[in-house]
């Protein structure tokens, strides 16, 4: 059944002169997803005629604080009471919240709330109903869901994110998009054919990401690095591989105009994620590196993965390249040692050869 949906934002409302620019970006996000334009009413957006089964798509769109199905009625208390009673009959006790947007209305928010509780009843633990008083009408919002907030995606803010298919790297794109970034992905795979990489768990993760925004996936084979780096001491192989990933991403960033590269690194989450190693692997990389999970606990990342719908997919078995390299990596690598080893294995040439083997896939929301 098609219904009207009220869409609310918070961080966009704090913007000054460029607030309208952010509102236009959010409008584009919604149009991309629903193929219809929302109406703007008193700093809210009203999307008419949305199929109930499609409403959940709003939960992942950056910039949306909360949304809910809405009924617009005349500014008449009897009709408001009737609407709330109808919801109570359907959902049970109501947790009533009233906001007076039009301050010229003679009754306060508390007056309206007390009136409705007296006439209909109400419980703090009940179904959340938010009533808003506008100049020409009341809106009754129900089936309220929280969005991810943040800011809508700006196509000019291009970021390249390293993607392994694990828990952390699968969540990073969502967190970046929530801060208004347009994200493409770089994936180094352990297959002879890049299509085999897509015939795995990562396909489901990529499908989930494209629900939020269109993106490119750069697929690079692991074997070029693996063969050339075999001469290096095994304990430094992982740090060298991470350095290879960053140098490869930097090359792509310079060629394709990305403003930053991003990783799912979290400090001390595993033995190799030390300050020394992070410093050594990123030495010589001039492109801005974003590490949104540096100080985030694993439990928090898992909660995000479950919310974004990637967790169950990301824990499925997969030939992750990081798991193929040395099982006992150095934990206090020095930048000068990694610099020397990079020259010995000719890391720049490895990047060159890997770029020649790269394939690009595009993902877009139908």
**The predicted structure's pLDDT at residue 185:** 98
In a domain, residue 152? The reply is no
Q: Cβ distance 108 to 100 under 8 Å?
A: yes
Give the residue from 123, 146, 169 where a domain finishes. 146
What is the per-residue pLDDT across 29-66, written as a single tens digit (0 to 9) for each? Answer: 999 998 999 998 877 899 998 887 788 889 999 999 99
In a domain, residue 223? The reply is yes
Same domain, 132 and 170: no
Same domain, 174 and 102: no
The CA-based angle 62-67-69, given to 5 degrees, is 145
In a domain, residue 30? The reply is yes
- pLDDT over 60 at 13, yes or no: yes
Helical residues (DSSP H) of 181-308, grouped into ranges: 194-198, 201-210, 223-229, 237-256, 275-282, 298-308
Structure tokens at 126: 């009940």
* Number of domains the chain is built from: 2
Burial annotation 227-247 (CB, 10 A radius, 16+ → b, else e): ebbeebeeebbbbbbbbbbbb
From the DSSP assignment, how many helices (H) and strands (E) are in the chain?
A: 14, 13
- pLDDT over 60 at 1, yes or no: no
- Residues written for the chain: 366
**The predicted structure's pLDDT at residue 316:** 85
Q: Which residues pair with 69 in a beta bridge?
A: 5, 142
Give the residue from 146, 168, 193 where a domain finishes. 146
Same domain, 242 and 177: yes
In a domain, residue 243? The reply is yes
- pLDDT over 90 at 329, yes or no: no
Same domain, 91 and 228: no
In a domain, residue 190? The reply is yes
What is the average pLDDT across 204-215? 94
Q: Give the chain's mean pLDDT.
A: 90
What is the per-residue pLDDT across 159-207, written as a single tens digit (0 to 9) for each? Answer: 999 999 999 999 999 999 999 999 999 999 988 888 888 888 899 999 9
**The predicted structure's pLDDT at residue 110:** 94
Give the range among 217-226, 231-240, 251-260, 267-276 with minimum mean pLDDT. Answer: 267-276
Instruction: Tell me the percentage of the chain whose pLDDT exceeds 90.
Output: 66
**The predicted structure's pLDDT at residue 324:** 60
Same domain, 179 and 221: yes
Q: 55, 12, 211, 63: which is closest to 142 by C-alpha? A: 55
Same domain, 215 and 344: yes
In whole angstroms, give the CA distance from residue 14 to residue 325. Answer: 47
What is the average pLDDT across 14-19? 81
In a domain, residue 54? The reply is yes
Provide the domain limits for residue 208. Answer: 158-363
Which of residues 135 and 351 earns the better pLDDT score? Answer: 351
Query: How many Cα atoms occupy the beta-carbon half-sphere of 355 within 13 Å?
Result: 17
**The predicted structure's pLDDT at residue 11:** 86
What is the per-residue pLDDT across 226-238, written as a single tens digit (0 to 9) for each? Answer: 898 888 888 889 9
| Spatial CB neighbours of 191, under 8 Å, sequence gap ≥ 6 | 197, 221, 319
In whole angstroms, give the CA distance from residue 301 to residue 174. Answer: 12
Instruction: Tell me the percentage of the chain whose pLDDT exceeds 70.
Output: 96
pTM of the full structure: 0.90
247 is in an annotated binding site: no
Same domain, 125 and 173: no
Give the residue from 117, 146, 175 where a domain finishes. 146
What CATH number does residue 41 fall under?
A: 3.30.2130.30
What is the per-residue pLDDT across 272-323, written as a single tens digit (0 to 9) for each? Answer: 788 999 999 999 899 999 999 999 999 999 999 999 999 999 988 776 666 6
Same domain, 195 and 318: yes
Same domain, 164 and 49: no
In a domain, residue 153? The reply is no
Same domain, 328 and 283: yes
Same domain, 164 and 129: no
242 is in an annotated binding site: yes
**The predicted structure's pLDDT at residue 303:** 96
Angle at which helix 201-210 crosses helix 167-178, to 10 degrees, equals 10
In a domain, residue 352? The reply is yes
Same domain, 112 and 223: no
134 is in an annotated binding site: no
Structure tokens at 70: 């809405």
**The predicted structure's pLDDT at residue 198:** 85
Q: 277, 281, 216, 276: which is closest to 245 by C-alpha? A: 281
CA dihedral of residues 21, 25, 30, 35 (deg, nearest 10): 100
264 is in an annotated binding site: yes
**The predicted structure's pLDDT at residue 260:** 98
Q: 196, 185, 137: which is closest to 361 by C-alpha? A: 185
What CATH number does residue 202 fall under?
A: 3.40.50.620
**The predicted structure's pLDDT at residue 331:** 84
Q: Cβ distance 218 to 360 under 8 Å?
A: yes
162 is in an annotated binding site: yes
**The predicted structure's pLDDT at residue 365:** 76
């Amino acid at each position: 059944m098609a219904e009207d949906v009220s869409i609310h934002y918070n961080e966009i409302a704090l913007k000054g002169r460029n607030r309208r620019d952010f509102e236009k970006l959010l409008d584009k996000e919604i149009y991309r997803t629903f193929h219809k334009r929302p109406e703007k009413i008193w700093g809210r957006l009203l999307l008419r005629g949305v199929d109930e089964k499609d409403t959940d798509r709003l939960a992942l769109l950056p910039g949306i604080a909360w949304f809910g199905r809405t009924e617009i009625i005349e500014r008449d208390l009897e009709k408001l009471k009737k609407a709330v009673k109808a919801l109570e009959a359907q959902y049970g006790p109501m947790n009533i919240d009233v906001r007076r947007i039009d301050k010229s209305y003679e009754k306060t928010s508390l007056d309206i709330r007390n009136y409705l509780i007296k006439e209909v009843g109400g419980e703090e633990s009940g179904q959340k109903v938010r009533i808003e008083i506008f100049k020409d009408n009341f809106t009754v919002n129900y089936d309220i869901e929280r969005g991810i907030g943040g800011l809508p995606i700006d196509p000019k803010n291009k970021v390249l994110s390293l993607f392994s298919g694990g828990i952390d790297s699968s969540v990073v794109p969502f967190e970046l998009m929530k801060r208004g970034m347009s994200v493409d992905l770089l994936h180094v795979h352990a297959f002879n054919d890049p299509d085999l990489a897509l015939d795995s768990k990562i396909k489901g993760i990529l499908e989930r990401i494209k629900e939020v925004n269109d993106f490119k996936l750069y697929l690079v084979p692991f074997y070029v690095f693996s063969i050339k780096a075999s001469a290096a001491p095994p304990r430094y192989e992982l740090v060298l591989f991470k350095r290879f990933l960053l140098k490869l991403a930097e090359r792509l960033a310079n060629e394709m105009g990305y403003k930053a590269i991003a990783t799912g690194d979290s400090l001390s989450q595993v033995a190799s994620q030390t300050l020394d190693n992070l410093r050594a692997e990123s030495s010589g990389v001039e492109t801005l590196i974003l590490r949104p999970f540096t100080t985030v606990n694993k439990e928090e990342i898992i909660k995000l993965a479950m919310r974004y719908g990637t967790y169950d997919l990301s824990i499925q078995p997969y030939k992750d390249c990081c798991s193929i390299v040395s099982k006992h990596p150095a934990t206090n690598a020095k930048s000068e040692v990694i610099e020397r080893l990079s020259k010995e294995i000719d890391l720049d040439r490895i990047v060159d050869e890997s770029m020649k083997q790269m394939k690009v896939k595009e993902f877009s929301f139908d």
